[in-house]
Structure 1
Amino acid sequence: MPGAPGVGDPYYPGDGNGGYDVSHYDIRLTYTPESDRLSGTTTILATPTAELSSFNLDFALDIRWVRVNNHPARVERDAADPTEVVVTPKAALREGEPVTVVVRYAGTPSEVAVDGFTAWKRTATGALAVDEPHIAEWWFPSNDHPTDKATYDVSVEVPDDVVALSNGVLEGTGTQRAGWTRWNWRSTEPQATYLAFLAIGDYDVRHSTAPSGLPVVNAYDTALGDLRPSAEASVERTPEVVEFLESLFGPYPFEAQGGVVTRDLGFALENQTRSVYDAGFFSRGTNLSVVVHENAHQWFGDSVALGKWSDIWLNEGFASYAEFLWSEHSGEGTAAELAQYLYDSIPAGDEFWQVLPGDPGPENQFHSAVYDRGALAVHALRTAVGDEVFFEILRTWLDAKRGGHGTIEEFVELAERLSGRQLDEVFEVWLFTKGKPQAGPNGAEGAEARAAVAEPESYREISFTHEQLAKRR
């Protein structure tokens, strides 16, 4: 039978593909910054979950050929959705028997539009393959949904004066022809397709070792100018931030740490092991809030992926709340103070309260309410169950789901089981009911939290984070 063209995501029905699981992507590319020309080969190791007469890949660039188990395969584009590539192998694929798929392709990603836009960002010195929820289609064929994670080898050949950055550990660089250098990156932990990234251009790269022994790779666009010191003063503290988050969430789940700062993004994204930040986050000085936010995603969103894109609160609500926890840790206002200030600062009639963090719809997936009201929902849960149970819920969730994915429904079930309480008044009110909740995130203790000083500095940083994220499209 043919594999399904999607996994049935309620927001993006065409995302992912049915009938197989990918275990590994080997992506081998050559990129020319002057022309934005990308060419290469991706080898996919997968296992069919049913007998398949054909299967789909998600991809937008021109395909030269596909081989399945070393035999040439027929390739067709779905007329209704050109990112759906239908591959028909010479012989049907048997359930449970490993399959090797090799795709050879080339194109100019910045000239390829999907649904009216391109997520690939051509820059003055290279390119950025960084975006959410979709980016893979512009640089490698995949089963593009967070529920099918895989390990990765990413090898990119670029001119000698250009850097090629990606996820995981740098296994080395090498030269096969004059004037070109190949950068080889390896990710050994399961990773979602949208969290795989490329940052190609003129970067200063800094290598160090975290106290934990993990390699740290940070990179800074050489054109950051007077933003460079504040960017470094923030991103170089990544191991310190990770140590703090480990004290709350449990062991760091990956093989490397770091960050990339660029001028050309307009937002920040939690690419696995190495978040990418727009330089604008550091225009007013150091900004540890955004570093905390993106590194909290290494647990909430990366290690434990969302089960469907409507579960975005599991990513953004907890990463935003981690900013509150860092503020409390740093002595710049308790989580209760920040939550109460945020609740009080937004009028009841504001459209903010009409967006539901538990199901915002694809048009509001990155609305500030998903972040801010999402963080208030997390604090309301903490208020309802108490600190001991709250952090037990978080650590249990992250441990049980590590390397996989989860849904809001599963998280609610766990929270109710560990707390021994029925928590509808928290989750229904804060995630799924329009309008400003009558009781604040601190419950009966809200009046005490209201005595906090006006507008904590860390809240101004959080607001700026959302302002930048609003420019994603």
Structure 2
Amino acid sequence: GRLIAELPLLRVPARGTESFDAEARVPRGIVKDAAATKFFTVACVQRRGFSGAQRCERADGRTTVLPTFAGGRSLGDPLFPQVGNRGYEVSHYDLAIDYDPGDGTPGDHAFLPGTSTTIDARASRNLSQFSLDFQRFDVSRVTVDGDPARFRYAGTEPLGDPAVVTQLKKLVVTPAEPVRRGAQMQVKVDYTGTPREMTDADESIEGWIQACYTPTGGSRTCDGSFTVNEPNGAQTIFPSNNYPAEKATFDTAITVPSDKTAFGAGELVGGAPVANGDGTSTWSWTEDDPIPTYLTSATVGDFTYEESAFVEAETGEELDVYTGVDSTATPDRLLLIQSRFAEIPTVTNYLTTNLFGAYPFDSTGGVADRTDNVFYALENATKPHYAGGNSNPSVGSSTQVHELAHQWMGDSVSPRDWLVIGFNEGWATFAELEYAFDNSGGPDPATFADDYYEDPETDWSLAPADLDGDPANLFAAPTYDRTAAMLQYLREILGDEEFFAFAERIAQEYAYSTISWQQFIDEAVGASGFGAEQSAQLEEFFEQWLYGEVQPTLTPEDFAG
């Protein structure tokens, strides 16, 4: 036998008894297999207080030992090791946000009491502690399965230049009792405070962004929020396991003044917001297909809000369409954006029948806001978000095709880690090119690929599946253009019939899940039907186009015949 831990002294009256639970920390590795190791408890007493001889007896029964784990505050992402926790898997988030948009002054807005996030998860290890990715709020209470838990904030390893880039935080939770491996747990976090956007390594902003603009001759004014969360912005809104492979379903209830509109992922519960009788209304949205945390929505503001529906060509199912255009849009701009949104059924059915197969969600739409400091669009699940600019909201036709294509590639089939971002963007860029060529006289995707390959100005030094290990390169040009050119060349290698069957197979077989670059390569090689020699050559093609830092030497001509 071996003594592995001594527990604190317990005072017991003479001829008395006392029951107890005890926790002991032991060096890692001493107990390699708790289930196969026999443990016993030995209790010792001293006669005459603390000075007499000890008398010890071993308990008759075997002692149960539950080795526990502190959760591991990273999922090991190659670009963002700061995010994720390997101790649990989330299945569902229930967000309840009570939001005061303030008086229109920049900085005057807040999450009010009643704001909370409830998380349904399964412990993948015995957990004595775990962490949630969450920026600083005033957290008033955390419970695990209804019991109060201890909590504290902790930092993570530095990300970029701390003087410029927002540093990621963890909310560390210690439940009252360890959570056993395989057990379901429900975690609730109550919090208030001012949500703040975060600045990324490329110095763009994301997260809960206060939606502001400066009218001509006026002062900067704000009407609510614009939420775009790629890659890490979700943790400016709610606590989570904030990693693209950790997908979950969502319920999002946002309480706002009754003259505001609030958007979440999925479908509007009950078909309308619920008036609370106090000048506020609650907009409740539900998304019952798993999505990554970075693709959720919680946008609030003054919008021209519309609902419609159409029949999806592949399945015959009716899809709801939810759209919002910032209410300050000029009349001509409002009509233009509404005409863009009217194209959603046409674009969706084109992508369904020509590229990806059945649409993966139960609704679609778009949100066109007026924000002066975002400068990009994002494929929020079921409702792509378009930032517009200082003078007007805007939605570009090709941009809308790009973001709708993401509903399959990125939202439904999501990247296994952040180095697979080029999978999302390559497919969306390819779909954008293909749609323009077929419908509006855009350039042939083959011409695009050849021009990219032959242009002496093309920078080949940044590999899209490596990105120099620098998160500032996440949205660099090769993430979009090089991967799109690679897909077009793959099309020419496989032929149209095999390529488009391959695209649909990826979209359908990996739906609601994730994909790695190696899985993508394996699927493409399998789709080729090549023998061993040409299969090896195709694998080398992907190695050059995804991982190479010089111009690839393999093109479709090398596979001819």
Inter-partner Cα distance in structure 2 for 1:111 and 1:417: 43
Match of 1:231 among 337, 341, 345: 337
Corresponding residue SS for 2:500 = helix
Q: 297-306 or 129-138, which moves further after superposition?
A: 129-138
**AA of the residue aligned to 2:290:** P
Aligned to 1:88: 174
> What is the aligned-residue RMSD (CA, Å)?
2.4
Aligned to 1:70: 146
Corresponding residue SS for 1:182 = strand
Deviation at 1:234, TM superposition (A): 1.7
Aligned to 1:436: 551
Match of 1:378 among 473, 476, 487: 487
Say whether residues 1:37 and 2:120 are aligned partners.
no
Aligned to 1:120: 208
Deviation at 1:209, TM superposition (A): 0.6
Match of 2:91 among 3, 16, 23: 23
Match of 2:506 among 388, 394, 397: 397
- TM-score w.r.t. the length of structure 1 is 0.88
Say whether residues 1:13 and 2:81 are aligned partners.
yes
- Higher relative contact order by CA 8 Å / sep ≥ 6: 1 or 2? 1
Aligned to 1:337: 447
Match of 1:158 among 244, 247, 256: 256
**AA of the residue aligned to 2:196:** S
Inter-partner Cα distance in structure 1 for 2:326 and 2:119: 32
Aligned to 2:26: none
Q: 1:231 to 1:104 in 2, by over 3 A?
A: same
Match of 2:324 among 219, 235, 256: 219
Deviation at 1:436, TM superposition (A): 3.4
Q: 1:112 to 1:240 in 2, by over 3 A?
A: closer
Aligned to 1:278: 387
Please list the CA deviations of residues 105-160 of structure 1 after superposition, one character each: whole Å capped at 9, or x if unmatched.
Answer: 01111277788976331121001121310111111110100111111110011111
Please list the CA deviations of residues 44-75 of structure 1 after superposition, one character each: whole Å capped at 9, or x if unmatched.
Answer: 11111111111111101231110001100000
Corresponding residue SS for 1:292 = helix
Larger radius of gyration between Structure 1 and Structure 2: 2
Deviation at 1:342, TM superposition (A): 4.0
Say whether residues 1:3 and 2:103 are aligned partners.
no
Q: 1:284 to 1:187 in 2, by over 3 A?
A: closer
Aligned 8 A contact 2:82 2:156 in 1: no
Show structure 1 runs of 5+ residues with no match: 447-473
Corresponding residue SS for 1:126 = strand
- TM-score w.r.t. the length of structure 2 is 0.75
Inter-partner Cα distance in structure 2 for 1:80 and 1:15: 8
Aligned to 2:358: 251
Inter-partner Cα distance in structure 1 for 2:391 and 2:101: 27
Deviation at 1:282, TM superposition (A): 12
Aligned 8 A contact 2:195 2:237 in 1: yes
Q: 1:283 to 1:128 in 2, by over 3 A?
A: closer
Q: 1:274 to 1:104 in 2, by over 3 A?
A: same
Q: 1:114 to 1:418 in 2, by over 3 A?
A: closer
Please list the CA deviations of residues 354-401 of structure 1 after superposition, one character each: whole Å capped at 9, or x if unmatched.
Answer: 221222242211012211111101111111111121112212222221
Q: How does 1:262-277 map to 2 (within 5 A)?
A: 262-264=369-371, 265-277=374-386
Inter-partner Cα distance in structure 2 for 1:232 and 1:186: 24
Deviation at 1:285, TM superposition (A): 9.1
Aligned 8 A contact 1:218 1:236 in 2: no
Inter-partner Cα distance in structure 2 for 1:23 and 1:79: 25
Aligned to 2:133: 58
Inter-partner Cα distance in structure 1 for 2:390 and 2:464: 24
Inter-partner Cα distance in structure 2 for 1:52 and 1:278: 41
Please list the CA deviations of residues 281-333 of structure 1 after superposition, one character each: whole Å capped at 9, or x if unmatched.
Answer: 99999732111110111111110110010011110011000011102321513
Q: 308-317 or 112-121, which moves further after superposition?
A: 112-121
Deviation at 1:419, TM superposition (A): 0.8
Q: 1:390 to 1:161 in 2, by over 3 A?
A: same
Inter-partner Cα distance in structure 2 for 1:198 and 1:284: 18
Deviation at 1:227, TM superposition (A): 2.8
Q: 1:435 to 1:418 in 2, by over 3 A?
A: same
Inter-partner Cα distance in structure 2 for 1:277 and 1:300: 18
Deviation at 1:25, TM superposition (A): 0.6
Q: How does 1:184-223 map to 2 (within 5 A)?
A: 184-212=284-312, 213-223=318-328
**AA of the residue aligned to 1:67:** T
Inter-partner Cα distance in structure 1 for 2:287 and 2:489: 36
Corresponding residue SS for 1:121 = strand
Equivalent residue pairs, number = 442
Deviation at 1:170, TM superposition (A): 0.7
Inter-partner Cα distance in structure 2 for 1:330 and 1:442: 26
**AA of the residue aligned to 2:209:** K
Q: 1:140 to 1:114 in 2, by over 3 A?
A: farther
Percent pairwise identity: 35
Deviation at 1:78, TM superposition (A): 1.6
Aligned 8 A contact 2:207 2:234 in 1: no
Aligned 8 A contact 2:420 2:517 in 1: yes
Q: 1:283 to 1:347 in 2, by over 3 A?
A: farther
